[in-house]
Amino acid sequence: MVSNPSTNIAMASLFSILNLMVSTSQLTIVLIVTASIFVVFIVIAVIRTYKLNAENKRLTELDNFKSEEDDTYKDFTDGHLY
């Protein structure tokens, strides 16, 4: 049986395509690693959000305390010469 050169080229290109394909286990590992990285980013963002909300609440309470303390009017024009 004589083999056709075009058939050999087609078979060689088919094998090279199969060598480039990613196996299911490799794809699963890549997806798990990628998902893990995004989960870490989401956890960091949630922690920072809680910290920022706590700081915002603390600063708001501090501002409320300060506004209650300095409720009296202060004349600021005493030092100016018009």
pLDDT in tens, 33-57: 999 999 999 999 999 999 999 999 9
pLDDT for 28 = 92
Sketch the domain layout of the chain as residue ranges: 23-67
Separation CA 67–CA 58 (nearest Å): 14
**Residue 5 clears pLDDT 90, i.e. is over it:** no
Going from the C-alpha of 78 to that of each of 42, 73, 82, the distances in angstroms are: 55, 13, 10
3-class DSSP state for residue 3?
coil
Percent of the chain with pLDDT over 90: 37
Element (H, E) at 68: helix 24-69
Compute the average pLDDT of residues 67-73: 62
Which positions ≥6 away from 22 have C-beta within 8 Å? 30
